[in-house]
Amino acid sequence: MRRPALRRTAFLAALLTATAGVTPPVEAAPRPYEGRPGGKGDRAGEALLRVLNEAVRQGAPGALAQSRTPLRVLDLSSGVADVRTRRKPRAAMRYRMGSITKMFVATVILQLVAEGRLKLGDTADEVIPGVVKGEGYRGDLITMRMLLDHTSGIFNYATDERLGDYAEKHPRHRFTLDELASAALAHPPYFRPGASWAYSDTDYVLLGMVIKAVTGRTYAQEIRRRIIRPLRLRATYLPGARPRIRGPHLHGYTPAEGGPPRLKDVTDVNISYAAASGDMISTAGDLNRFSAALLGGRLLPGRLLRAMLRPVPGSQPYPGSDIFRYGLGTVIARLPCGVRVYGNGGTLDGWETWAGGTRDGRRTMSFVFTSDVVDQIGLTARALEAEYCTVRAEGPRAKPGGAGRPGKRPARTKARP
């Protein structure tokens, strides 16, 4: 896997474009909004808005971000949410998060470890016996930690051409975890377990199976029970094979094949091919709340949170960029200013996303670009630097590292077109 998201292949393109309609040419992308975001002196907000504007200039019809600190919530947007209606992006709009899903799955797995129902050193053969088998595979050597941090060596099912051919012929087929795992294990492994690092969505398909084996409930049920409901993430859900996004939402667009440059609307799609690895839907606000809770220690005990956020030597989730490393279901970014940010990013046809925050969870930021035509790696790095490396004016009550007045709700500001 070349970056922290479900890879675009013929397989994914077939599913994502099965019901898509063609939109106006890429050149018709709306002009970005150039207003002031958060009041006088909010240079970080202005810098982040410039990144959203650049995403629109690169061809994304829309871009949306929410920045959250103890003293304020800042909603920023550029372009449009839907090129047909020309509606503006709004913070309450849902979108497909892609591989940010892996943070949720990893959190459930580590909660099971905290409860003593699972160990990071448990092997696949011990937990899901008979599943990891095939030429070159050793289920007795692949541990839960290796699945979490992508050192298992298991082939990435998202690059399987036969699965892609089947998906193209049967776009409404609801893929099961067993089907996705079997497609991957029909290929030889990338390397022996623990010998190297390679991004593989199959690792999280198997972790979805682990959750069912340990709890008796599906990964979707456990995510709802353990994370979505306790944190009151009311806009977050797992759609299964249902193609439409519920309620107000952004539209995602990907380049159409052949002919002049143009975009296809790939919003409505059967996302079951991304089960447990990239299938969740949420909003920027919900993802910020999740990041704050996770990084703030509300979901995992300290020792397991530290393990989750420890970078794997040699990991490179964003090839070509040296600031990113991978942990257990998380991406660690060490920014040029010295700040470390923890989160994850997602890529699906039509979507580029990020959610994360600082180690204490007190400062978070989530964004989405509504097309995969943009430079995900470059824009993600720029967005993180804008948010975490730019001096921000917080107002007279702000203190370095301070949380503001106890019980006081953060002020909300937003860019107005």
Contact 361, 38 (CB under 8 A): no
Contact 212, 219 (CB under 8 A): yes
Q: Which string of DSSP letters, residue by residue, matches 321-354? A: -SSEEE-SS-EEEE-TTS-EEEEEEEEETTEEEE
Where b means 16+ CB within 10 Å and e means fewer, 200-236 reads: bbbbbbbbbbbbbebbeebbbebbbebbbeebebebb
CA distance 155 to 174: 21
From residue 289, how far is each of 110, 355, 402 by CA, in Å? 19, 10, 18
Name the nearest CA neighbour of 329 among 148, 113, 202: 148
Residue with tokens 């002020």: 411
Strands (E), 113-172: none
Q: Based on the residue annotation, tell me whether 277 is a catalytic residue of this protein.
A: no
Name the nearest CA neighbour of 113 among 143, 140, 153: 143
Strands 263-265 and 253-255: antiparallel
Catalytically annotated residue among 99, 200, 272, 371:
99
**Which tokens go with 116?**
């003593």
User: Which bin fits 259, alpha (ψ -120 to 50), beta or left (φ > 0)?
Assistant: left
CA distance 38 to 360: 23
Q: Give the residue numbers marked as catalytic.
A: 99
